Amino acid sequence: MAAVEAAGGVLWRGDPANPEVALVHRPRYGDWSLPKGKLDPGEDPLIGALREIVEETGFVARPGRRVGSLRYGTPEGRKRVRYWACEAVEGNFEASREVDELWWGPLAAATDWLAPDHDRRILELFASDTRRTRPLVVVRHASAGDKKHWDGPDAERPLDADGAKRAETVAALLSAYGVQRAGSAEVVRCEQTLAPYAKAAGLKVLAMPSTTAGSFEADPERGTAEVAALLDGSGGAAWCGQREVILDLVARLAASFGGSAEDAAGVAALSKGALAVLHLDDRSGLVALERLPT
């Protein structure tokens, strides 16, 4: 882990084929940059990136794929800054001591304003693929304690205190992604992991027995198809389930959207309460697959 953790994004709007991007002017440094800043202690990097975008630009944004990271030295130590493509949803800029100007303009012009060894590299990575995506989020249930200390049926084992806290972070991430439909394995801890988001968003979590460990292995094609069907309609979708199912499910989903099983390799060690996000373009399929937290 770097001594200083930060996050930000390429904030864009308009036509994805020819987007406008936002740059902020920082009077302290006398430069233009992408919106970004230090994470608060314990803050999820993507949530921190979206917070910094609001603070510096005034715009709420919908995150897309992760664009990349920068690492460099600072007086405080090595710094890592993670960036996401973020589409502006709404907002208005107000000048502050930290940011006194906001500029919107085409990619080609924006690139010329940035230092070549820092944010320009991120903007060039964004420019290589500006498609708008929507997410299919696969969530591993949060912590439910040690099953050795649970006397009842394993499917009824609830979240512990750490799991309940993580479920609140999951809710914030699903809200940021604009999830409009959600499903879960027929397991209490999976349902509880999605419950805070479902309550806040006014959604009903669909019970999906075919995606529960045991049932999924017996008919993985059915379980995969039912999770993919959560995308029917607009906006993103989410499903929560067990470790035993996730790697095979994500590999099958990736393949069904034009990717490969290798795209899912990074989710093999998905920790409790972590997310695998398939970023999808409705015309061309899988654009990227990332794990959160990164």
- pLDDT above 70 covers a percentage of the chain that reads 99
pLDDT in the model for residue 38: 96
- The top-level CATH class assigned to 4-127 is alpha beta
pTM: 0.95
Kindly report, residue by residue over 125-136, the tens digit of the pLDDT: 999 999 999 999
276: nearest Cα among 284, 285, 267: 267
pLDDT in the model for residue 1: 66
Kindly report, residue by residue over 25-37, the tens digit of the pLDDT: 999 989 999 999 9
CATH code of 134-292, in short, is 3.40.50.1240
Kindly report, residue by residue over 263-284, the tens digit of the pLDDT: 777 777 799 999 999 999 988 8
Average pLDDT, the chain: 94
B/e letters for 223-262, b = 16+ CB within 10 Å, e = fewer, are bbebbbebbeeeebbbbbbbeebbbbbbbbbbbbbebeee
Domain boundaries, the chain: 4-127, 134-292
pLDDT in the model for residue 43: 96
User: Helices (DSSP H) in 178-294: which residue ranges?
Assistant: 188-201, 215-218, 220-228, 243-256
Amino acid at the residue 12: W
